[in-house]
Chains A and B, each alone.
Chain A
Amino acid sequence: MENKRNSQTIAEYIKNWSRKHSLFIMAYGTGCGAIEIPATLTSRYDAERLGIRGAATPRQADVLLITGYLATKTLKRVIRVYEQMQDPKYVIAFGSCTINGGMYYDSYNTINVLEKYIPVDVYINGCMPRPEAVIAGFQQLQDKIARGEADNGTRYKENLEWYRANQHRVIKNWRMPDYNW
């Protein structure tokens, strides 16, 4: 029988409900889109009423925002941050640069398709997305969590070799720690 719980057990339903209402975002801005985050979080758009707020370290955070273009140097740091985050972890990608490279599609130092390097839950298009669009993206992520479909942390672990192969294409001199999640 289909119901609001979408065939989840009571425990899963409660778990997902509480997760979706406390999204702590990693205080890490890449590219130009980071300037939209203060506007989203502060009093005018007030994302905190949806449970969205900042977290200081990767281990405290649930959501990693990739706000705009990603240089190859930054990708290295992003991968380290993403691997240090604990499950459940979600990635929201901002702007056209993370989708197809945007205006930097032929640049020698920015990656084009973010999804090839880390799994992405929600894309927000625009260059740059306004805070309304950012909040809409967060709500989409919340819906996904409530349906129990946001399990990209597991997907990353299962397909680690594929992701690693793509990452090695960009980061030639690999001096990164291995994590045993």
Chain B
Amino acid sequence: MLEKEQKLLEILKSAFQVEGKVIRNRRVEIWDHKEMVPAILLMVKTQLGYKHLNHITCIDWLEEGKFQLVYTVFSHTDKLTLFVKTKIDRDPAIMPNIDDIWDQANTYERELREMYGIEFPGLVGDQEFILEDWDEMPPMRRDFKTDVYAEKTFFAQPGREDAQDVRETITKRSGEEIPEFAKKYSRD
């Protein structure tokens, strides 16, 4: 069991001294510093046959002050998915550009630049990708308060004056007590 996965992990550990683990059948993850990520990706693409870049994902660890980038690559010969993970500083967020390894990485990196404000030195492409005329903080950062922005920019529909608290109305009608765990959700 998990022989292919263990073998891949051994190769990567001996080549790069990375940390990693086998998550489960057909899933392997490794993590390393951000400077090593392009070298690892180039090596797994050219020598190990991980030719398919599935995705580049970003996770915002606001409390740690870090962004975690996850590069998901797939091998059509081994049928294995490899996750290459790295953590970078939130401010300034700079990550080496890999669109010379995979052309399609350009699209993902432009999206990350717009939605998280991560800079990729040497990335070619319009600054504006999905959003139009955006002049605020990148919206997918967790410290962007989307409800405050919506309140400021859009109009709120005033609620009905006869709006009732559903839970209280039902308990009053049926004569039951509101259970203890649900009291914190009551309006008054």
Contact = CB atoms under 8 A, between A and B. Distances in A.
Interface string A156-170: 000000000010011
B157 interface: yes
Interface stretch (A12-20, A58-66, A106-114, A144-152): A106-114
Contacts of A72: 132
B150 A105 contact: yes
B139 interface: yes
Contact of A107 (B131, B146, B155, B156): B146
A104 to B, nearest CB: 9
Interface string A87-110: 000000000000111000111110
A67 B132 CA distance: 21
A5 interface: no
Interface residues of B, number: 17
Contacts of A170: 153-154
A155 interface: no
A106 B155 contact: no
Contacts of B150: 101, 105-108, 112
A173 B132 CA distance: 9
B149 interface: yes
B152 to A, nearest CB: 9
Given A106-B147, A106-B150, A112 B156 contact: yes
Most chain-B Cβ atoms within 10 A of its Cβ — which of A99, A100, A106? A106
Interface in B122-171: 131-133, 135-136, 139, 144, 146-147, 149-151, 153-157
A169 B150 CA distance: 12
A111 B157 contact: no
Nearest to A166: B155
A172 interface: yes
A113 B133 contact: no
B157 A172 contact: no
27 contacts: A73-B132, A99-B157, A101-B150, A101-B154, A101-B157, A105-B156, A106-B146, A106-B147, A106-B150, A107-B146, A107-B150, A108-B136, A108-B139, A108-B146, A108-B149, A109-B139, A111-B154, A112-B150, A112-B154, A112-B155, A113-B155, A113-B156, A113-B157, A169-B153, A170-B153, A172-B133, A172-B135
Interface of A: 72-73, 76, 99-101, 105-109, 111-113, 116, 166, 169-173
